[in-house]
Amino acid sequence: MAEKREYRLKIDAYSPETMPMSRLAEYLSDIAILLGEEPHVHLIAIESSSTCPVVLVDWEAEPKVIERVRKARSGEGDEDASRAIIRINSLLRKDNASADLLNPRLESLVKFPGAREEQPIERPSINQPAELYGTPFWVGGKSDLSNVDLEDGTREWKCLAERPVAISIAQHLYKNTLRVSGKGRWRKTPGGPWNLERFVIDTFEVMRPTNIQNTIEELSNIKAKWKSLADPLAALETIRNAE
C-alpha cells in the first residue's frame, strides 16, 4: 500500500467545538489551494485542543506539494497559492490568532503570524496645491464637479473640475497636452509611494509642442553672463572654493 504523509494546520484559536463551520471551511479551502495536487490531498481529521486540520498527502505527490508551498512562501510560483497565504493571514487577524503549517515531523513549513504580525502605520492624507501634466481622454459626469481624466505616458490621472473648466478642457480631448493646476489630496501607502486620492483642477494651460532639439536651442539662446567667460567651469570651481 502506498505511503501517505500527514500535514497539519495548527491554529491557536477556537477548538473544533467552538469554531464556526463557515470559518473552518474558509481555512480548509485556502489550505487546499496552497497545497495543490487536489486528487492526492485528503482531509482525515480535525484534532482537538486548538483547531488543527490533518491532511494526508499521497507520497507520490509530496515533492510537488512541498515545492509549491516553498515557492508560495517566497512569493514565487503559482499566484493562487501565494494569495492563499495572504487570505489565511487575513482570516487569522480577524480571529486574533496565528498558525503554523506543519510537516509530518511537526516542523513548520509556513508560519502564519496573523494577529501577531506588525501592521504598517497608516498615515493621514495630505492636501496641497500641485500641477499635473497629461492629455485629456475623458470629460463627463452629472455632478457639479465633472470627471476629467488625463493620460501622461503610461500613467493616468483621475481629476475633477467645475463645469466651465471641464467644458474648456473638453476642447482639447485627445489633441493637446495640458498642465493643470489645482488642489490635490495625497496619501502615503505603507511601504510604498504617495497616491493621488483626489485632484480638483482650478486652471490649466496648453503645453506648446516641442522636441529635445528645440529645447536645447532655446536654452542656448538664453542670455547669461557666464557665456562670455573663457572657462566657465574653472570660474564655477573658484566660486565653490572661495573663502
> 49 pLDDT exceeds 50?
yes
Task: Determine the Cα–Cα distance for residues 126 and 195; give it in Å rounded to an integer.
Answer: 10
Cell numbers for 23: 470559518
> Given this model, what pLDDT does residue 223 score?
82
For residue 57, give the amino acid letter: V
Cell numbers for 16: 473544533
Torsion of CA 93, 99, 101, 105, to 10 degrees: 170
Q: Is residue 196 within a helix (H) or strand (E), and if so which, with residue range?
A: strand 194-206
pLDDT in tens, 28-46: 999 999 999 999 999 999 8
State percent of the chain over pLDDT 70.
94
Tally of CA atoms within 13 A in the half-sphere of 225 that contains its CB: 2
pLDDT in tens, 2-14: 556 899 999 987 7
pLDDT in tens, 152-207: 988 999 999 999 999 999 999 999 999 999 999 998 876 677 889 999 999 999 99
> Which domains are present in the chain?
4-116 (3.30.70), 120-243 (2.40.50.140)
> 17 pLDDT exceeds 50?
yes
